Amino acid sequence: MVFSAEEIADRVRAMGREITEAYGPADDLLVLGLLKGSFIFLADLVRQIQLPLHVDFLVAGSYGNGTQSSGNVRLLYDPEANLKGRAVIVVEDIIDSGTTLARVLPLLEARGARSLEVCALLHKRLVVMEKEARWVGFDAPPEFLVGYGLDYSESFRHLPYIGSL
């Protein structure tokens, strides 16, 4: 086990407090989850943010059935929410190669968000991102991780902890 369910819950609570302190009720907050991996983290996180907010999703993929990013990011679902003038937090399960965020963030920035921040549960620190995550749950080891939404070929997402494949 890399991170226990208890460690994850404690860190998500703290991240929710940090986000609550960073914004106010007038910020028109949109929490935009990158599916599929972020869905459990996003659900737990938004329940810890003590502000009015909206939730939408973006589906982008670069792994397929492998354990390494293909480098080819496919956008499968584009959010319907209007980003113009809003405070947007993109929620990612793990920053690994950085390919998905490098492709998605410029597309979202072009839609006129007032602010655009990244919140990631895990960061492997393998690359320097053009826009680094403002909130990171844990620095992750350089292993293929599963559980708490992270998968290997669609398996293991249901685990309440994060483990190494």
Which of the residues 28, 44, 93, 96 is marked catalytic? Answer: 96
**Are the C-beta atoms of 75 and 58 separated by less than 8 Å?**
yes
Measured distance CA(100)–CA(108) in Å, rounded: 12
Measured distance CA(49)–CA(95) in Å, rounded: 22
Please compute Rg for the chain using Cα positions.
Answer: 15
Closest CA to 53 of 79, 86, 78, 77: 86
Measured distance CA(82)–CA(108) in Å, rounded: 10
Measured distance CA(73)–CA(101) in Å, rounded: 9
Q: Is 93 a catalytic residue?
A: no
Q: State in Å, rounded, how far the first CA of the chain is from the last one.
A: 10
Name the residues annotated as catalytic: 96
